[in-house]
Every structure is written in structure tokens, then in C-alpha cells.
Amino acid sequence: MTAAVLPFVTLAFVLGLLLSAWRLLRGPSLPDRILALDTLYVNALALLVLFGIAFDTKLYFEAALVIGLLGFVGTVALARFVLRGDIVEPR
Amino acid sequence: MTAGIAELPLWADALVASLLVGAAAFALIGSFGLVKLSDFFRRLHGPTKAATLGIGGTLLASSIHFSVRDGAVSVHEVLITVFVFFTAPVSAHLLAKAALHLAGQPADADEAVPTAEQEPTG
């Protein structure tokens, strides 16, 4: 049953990836692009976990974990740059 | 692509498949909302909730899949789930603050300078 469903699930996540990439290229404002990047990495993370199920291996888990960690740090750094004009503020 | 998939009992297979379909639907709707909605604050609403549910469903499905396959509880996925569930609201909050800042409104009540034309809150 999972094998029958997997191609459609993969297609849905790839479609989500493309939609957020479209918003990343198009997005009128800077927060729009950051939000699109956030959605993009979340979709990529889910796609990697999906590959782990499809190929029946735990190899992709570490890659998904690293994307999750670095994606959040990237989003926070970008949002902070927009908010303050600087990432690490001088004292 | 599905050549290497493991044989699971029917109940686990059905559970994994339905979780994956639900997660994919949520993620797709969230990303579609990112494109479709008109305003940034409306767009913020879509992906932050839907994509988080998509991640949660996919990771739960993966956890069940590997737990049943190996006969031992697989808790690796809980690591990502907990991390994403904690960080998604934080990044959404920061993005909303950044957008408010760019729109020229005070993003924080503490930093707000009270002016005559400011609308009363509450």
C-alpha cells in the first residue's frame, strides 16, 4: 500500500517545492522570500525522510536533521538582518 | 523507486500510507497557500502550520515504518519532529516582526512610541 502511494506523495512534495521556489523568485518583499526559503527547506526535509522510507534506509536521516538545524538558523539570521540591519550586534 | 521497500504487516502499511497521504496533502496545501494568498501576513499563515503538519506526519510515518521493520522503537525521527515543532513558531514570529518593521510599524510593544494617531489596542 505504501509502495502504491509513494509516487503520488513524492509528487505532492515536489510540487510544494516548486511552488515555494516560485514564491522565492517572485516574492515582492524580503520577508516573502525568507518565508519561501523556510517552506522550501521544510519541503526538502520531508522529501528526504520520504526517500528514507522509499529506499528503506536510514542514510537520509542525518541529512534531514542537518537541513532542519541549519534551515532554522538561516531563517533566524535573515529575519534578524531585516529587523536590525545586522546579525551580530556590536556592543 | 519503490523497489527496495520493506514488507510490513497490513496494519502498519495502511497506517504509514494514510499518514503519508495526509502529510503530503497538508504540505501541498501550505505551499499552494504561499503562492495563492494576496498579502504577506496571509501568506505567513499557510506554510507555517500546514508544512509543520506535513513534516510531523511524514516523520511519524517514518518512525512507524522503521519501528515495525526492525522490531525496536525508532526514536531518531522524534528528534527532528521536536526540533521543527519548536522552531517553526519562532521563525514565523521573527518573520512577522521583520515584516511589521519593514511596513513601518513598531514590531514590539516595548519599543512602540505612543503617538496621537496610533489606534488603541484591545
Residue B1, pLDDT above cutoff 90: no
The alpha-carbon gap from B38 to the nearest alpha carbon of chain A, in Å, equals: 11
Mean pLDDT of B40-60: 87
Cα A46 from Cα B44, distance rounded (Å)? 19
Which candidate, B23, B4, B9, B82, places its Cα nearest to that of A49? Answer: B23
Q: What is the model's pLDDT at position B110?
A: 52
Cα B91 from Cα B72, distance rounded (Å)? 34
Half-sphere exposure of residue B97, counting CA atoms within 13 Å on the CB side? 21
Cα A5 from Cα A54, distance rounded (Å)? 10
Local confidence band at B21 (pLDDT 50, 70, 90 cut-offs): very high
| 3-state SS class at B104 | coil
* CA distances (Å), origin A1, targets A53, B16, B71: 13, 9, 20
Nearest-5° Cα angle at A86, A81 to A88? 110
Give me B36's grid cell: 495563492
Residue B53, pLDDT above cutoff 70: yes
Contact check, Cβ <8 Å, B77/A49: yes
Question: Do residues B31 and B47 touch, judged by C-beta distance below 8 A?
Answer: yes
Cα A65 from Cα A86, distance rounded (Å)? 27
Residue B11, pLDDT above cutoff 80: yes
Mean pLDDT of B65-80: 86
Contacts of A38 in chain B (CB under 8 A): 47, 91, 95
Residue B90, pLDDT above cutoff 80: yes
Query: How many residues in chain A?
Result: 91
The fold of the A2-84 domain, in CATH, is: Helix Hairpins (1.10.287)
Residue B107, pLDDT above cutoff 60: no
Comparison of pLDDT for B2 and B92, the residue scoring more: B92
Local confidence band at B45 (pLDDT 50, 70, 90 cut-offs): confident
Query: Which of B28, B87, B95 has its CB closest to that of A35?
Result: B95
| 3-state SS class at A80 | helix
ipTM entry: 0.85
A29 has a chain B CB within 8 A of its CB: yes
For B106, residues 6+ apart whose C-beta sits below 8 A from its C-beta are B100, B112, B113
Query: Which of B13, B94, B97 has its CB closest to that of A2?
Result: B13
Give me B97's grid cell: 516582526
> Percentage of residues in chain B with pLDDT exceeding 90?
21
Would you write out chain A's pLDDT as a tens digit for each of its 91 residues? 888 889 999 999 999 999 999 999 987 888 899 999 999 999 999 999 999 988 888 888 889 999 999 999 999 999 989 888 877 777 7
Nearest-5° Cα angle at A27, A25 to A33? 80
A34 has a chain B CB within 8 A of its CB: yes
Mean pLDDT of B110-117: 51
